[in-house]
Amino acid sequence: MSIGAERAVELQNAERLMKEIMIPPRPTILIEVLNEQSRSDPDLHKIGRLISKDVAISAGVLRVVNSSFFGLPRKITSIDHAVRMIGVRSVTNIVTALMLHSAFSDMKGGVMDEFWSQSSRLAAATSFAARLSPEVPTEEAYSLGLFANCGVPLMLRKFPEYPSVYERAIAAPDMTFTAYEESELDTNHTLVGYIMGKKWDLPESFCQCILRHHDLADYYVDPEIELYGITSYLAVLQLGHYFSRAYDELPTSYEWIQTGRHVCRFLDIDDDRLDALKTEALDIISEASGPVA
């Protein structure tokens, strides 16, 4: 999918600003898992063994697949079991998202702790929202929620003042989060996150959602956009953001005020159903309010 000439220039500017900040490489285990997954006849037991090498990641995968928002009929007890139950691609998506936490393990402190907690809540909310879209598997939605703001830690590395910019941007009443970032820092976390997503070889749908999830463009009423396969993912992510902000008792975002009605129409949600879904989502998010790994 083309990103457009203007955004290509913005990405070049982001790469220039961030070039001295190393984007974490994909972890070795993830490379090995992805290589095996890409084979014409992948060895499921080998994939299970590779993932099981990392105790923390293995525990994280089991916690995710056994959580209430996946709703599996019985408890998953091993990585091999998880691969058989939900498939190689689904497990790999979860592993990739959890590896994000490991990639930034050198960054400590209250700001990062809150970032991981918010990411976990967004992942749960987005996974719940995916129940409304047959095009978006819940486990992919979970991973998308974790990766959506992956540019934030890189912004923290680059800009010492970013925590205060972040706080002001999240509460900005009359502009998007990214517009506020750009007014202060000449770049934003979606551009930086897109660059990281491409370097990690994330699915194109994920990269596009990372890049576009604060856009005001009306993707939800233009039928041509759906040909690219991202509209359903964007809609689910936007709804997840709406639920997550409600849980955090934040004001409704400027983006949702502008595009939320179109997101709801796209997902066939009326006002009464949205209220009921929000109540259910808040209960599910409360179970995922801690760190992701």
For 208-235, write each residue's pLDDT tens digit: 999 999 998 778 876 565 545 789 999 9
**Between 154 and 37, residue with greater pLDDT:** 154
pTM for the complete prediction?
Answer: 0.85
Is 51 a domain residue? yes
Q: Write down the number of H helices and E strands in the chain.
A: 16, 0
Last residue of a domain, one of 70, 103, 136: 103
Q: What is the mean pLDDT of residues 259-285?
A: 94
Residue at a domain's end among 87, 103, 119: 103
71 and 83 share a domain? Answer: yes
Cα–Cα distance, 7 to 86 (Å, whole number): 36
pLDDT averaged over the chain?
87
Total count of domains within the chain:
2
Q: At what angle do helices 177-185 and 189-199 cross, to 10 degrees?
A: 100
**Statement to judge: residues 169 and 41 lie in one domain:** no
Residue 3 falls within a domain, yes or no? no
Measure the CA–CA gap between 286 and 281, rounded to whole angstroms.
9
- Domain assignment of residue 64, given as a range: 25-103
Rounded to an integer, what distance in angstroms lies between the CA atom of residue 257 and that of residue 48?
44
Answer with the one of 71, 103, 135 that is the final residue of a domain: 103
- What torsion do the CA atoms of 140, 141, 147, 148 make, to the nearest 10 degrees? 140
User: Does residue 232 share a domain with residue 142?
Assistant: yes
Statement to judge: residues 30 and 18 lie in one domain = no
Q: What share of the chain in percent tops pLDDT 70? A: 93
Residue 145 clears pLDDT 80, i.e. is over it: yes
Q: In the predicted model, is pLDDT for residue 2 greater than 80?
A: no
96 shares its domain with 143: no
Which tens digit of pLDDT belongs to each residue from 64-123?
888 776 677 788 899 988 888 888 888 887 888 788 888 888 888 888 888 988 998 999
Q: Please check whether residues 20 and 35 belong to one and the same domain.
A: no
Provide the 3-class DSSP secondary structure of residue 284: helix
